[in-house]
Amino acid sequence: MKNFSNYTDYDKKDNLHFESKAVHGALGTEPLTGAVSMPIFQAVTYRHPALGESTGFAYSRLENPTRQELERTMAILEGGIKAFAFSSGQAANMAVFSLLNPGDHVLLSDDIYGGTFRIIGDVFGKYGIEHTYVEMDDLDAVKAAIKPNTKMFFVETPTNPMMKVADIQALSEIAKSVGALMVVDNTFLTPYFQNPLKLGADIVTHSSTKYLGGHNDTLSGIVVVKDNEEIAEKIHVHIKSHGSQLAPMDCWLLLRGIKTLPVRMDRHNENAKKVAEWLRTQPKVKKFTMLDLRITKIMRQPSNRREALEV
Ligand SMILES: Cc1ncc(COP(=O)(O)O)c(C=O)c1O
């Protein structure tokens, strides 16, 4: 593993397996001391070495070394150019919806998380942003819901709570054809099981409070931008203006959680399968919903998308 001597250069680790990327992060070791766990930089203001010179850090609302390591790690895991760490999943989604202008229209998954439902209805509704809920697994319904002012598809897949699955690649193609941004809330599958940016999405969001953190101790959110520098800059302006970034201690907790993401996700899958098999034998259980485990595995390969959805 390469040791870096400053915070600017880092390794995207393209040749490593997902598991190794999750463990090693971006810098891997802290450049000044060689600490293999990125320290918690509990600092706000940074002294410049000289007039006109900077260490790359000035004020923690703008950049913080621990947050930067987390953001770069998430950009690496999701395959985007830039990631941003927020104080909650709600704050992350607020930043994404802030890309819209008054008069714009957004299509959302009909079974979306309740908090997202509130953001778009109660908060952005009064700023003149229109929205329509649609069954994202029904591509004809999606096409029918598009309006001339549709600027974003906001897709949660699988949805919370009913685990409805959408075809990210097909939806991305439709979104692109009408010039709309394709956003995927990847909270439930995480980049370990699903890579929306590789399937054509422009932006990924997370409530990293869930599987990424993994220990129920850190409220947090992530936004990852695939390749559009202009969008990344807009999110950057949003986070530094709103002050909704994640605190250094929480960034460190999340970095620590991410190191064990692959092993935890595999175990979640095994456990869910056992619970499902038990539920299937219970006479009082009429119906239960779970994401088919074969789908989640296959969804990592974009080329297998159609077969996956037919399982
Ligand atoms: C799919 C999904 N997105 C976003 C959120 C909001 O995240 P947070 O609770 O971290 O603000 C949640 C929370 O449960 C969620 O399940």
Q: Which domain holds residue 66?
A: 60-259
Of 207, 215, 216, the residue with max ligand 1 atoms within 8 A of its CB, to mutate for a pocket test, comes to 207
Q: What is the reported pLDDT for 292?
A: 62
Q: Is position 101 within any domain? A: yes
Q: Is position 32 within any domain? A: no
Instruction: State which of 116-120, 157-161, 271-275, 300-304 shows the largest mean pLDDT.
Output: 116-120
**Using an 8 Å Cβ cutoff, are 158 and 164 in contact?**
yes
Q: Is position 54 within any domain? A: no
- Between CA 222 and CA 92 the distance in angstroms is 6
- Give me the chain's average pLDDT, please: 92
Task: Find out whether the beta carbon of 156 lies less than 6 Å from any atom of ligand 1.
Answer: yes
Task: Find out whether the beta carbon of 113 lies less than 6 Å from any atom of ligand 1.
Answer: yes
pLDDT per position as a tens digit, 263-290: 999 999 889 889 888 988 999 988 877 7
Q: Is position 35 within any domain? A: no
Closest ligand 1 atom to 156 CA: 1
Domain shared by 125 and 271, yes or no: no
Domain shared by 172 and 214, yes or no: yes
What is the pTM for the complete model shown? 0.94
17 Cα: distance to centroid of ligand 1 (angstroms) = 28
pLDDT per position as a tens digit, 78-115: 999 999 999 999 999 999 999 999 999 999 999 999 99
Of 113, 203, 206, 222, the residue with max ligand 1 atoms within 8 A of its CB, to mutate for a pocket test, comes to 113
Number of domains in the chain: 2
* Residue nearest atom 7 in ligand 1 by C-alpha distance: 89
Give the CB-side neighbour count of residue 120, counting CA atoms within 13 A.
Answer: 24
As a whole-number percent, the residues of the chain with pLDDT over 70 amount to: 94
Q: Is position 133 within any domain? A: yes
Domain shared by 121 and 237, yes or no: yes
Domain shared by 225 and 294, yes or no: no
* Residue 61 among the catalytic residues: yes
Domain shared by 232 and 98, yes or no: yes
Q: What is the reported pLDDT for 291?
A: 75
Domain shared by 162 and 268, yes or no: no
Domain shared by 245 and 186, yes or no: yes
Q: Is position 139 within any domain? A: yes
Last residue of a domain, one of 259, 283, 298: 259
**Using an 8 Å Cβ cutoff, are 257 and 214 in contact?**
yes
* Residue 185 among the catalytic residues: yes
Task: Find out whether the beta carbon of 219 lies less than 6 Å from any atom of ligand 1.
Answer: yes
DSSP string, 216-266: S----EEEEE-S-HHHHHHHHHHHHHHT-BPPHHHHHHHHHHHHTHHHHHH
Domain shared by 89 and 196, yes or no: yes
* Residue 113 among the catalytic residues: yes
**Using an 8 Å Cβ cutoff, are 7 and 54 in contact?**
no
Domain shared by 175 and 79, yes or no: yes
Closest ligand 1 atom to 209 CA: 10
Domain shared by 98 and 187, yes or no: yes
Q: How far is CA 46 from CA 41, 43, 52, 232, in A?
A: 11, 8, 14, 24
Q: Is position 47 within any domain? A: no
Task: Find out whether the beta carbon of 209 lies less than 6 Å from any atom of ligand 1.
Answer: yes
Task: Find out whether the beta carbon of 250 lies less than 6 Å from any atom of ligand 1.
Answer: no
* Residue 292 among the catalytic residues: no
* Residue nearest atom 12 in ligand 1 by C-alpha distance: 207
Q: Is position 116 within any domain? A: yes
Domain shared by 214 and 304, yes or no: no
pLDDT per position as a tens digit, 235-254: 999 999 999 999 999 999 99
Would you state the structure tokens that stand for residue 298, as one six-digit string? Answer: 């296959």
Q: Which residue out of 110, 137, 185, 250 is catalytically annotated?
A: 185
Task: Find out whether the beta carbon of 88 lies less than 6 Å from any atom of ligand 1.
Answer: yes
- Between CA 204 and CA 133 the distance in angstroms is 19
Domain shared by 270 and 191, yes or no: no
Q: Which residue out of 7, 10, 46, 113 is catalytically annotated?
A: 113
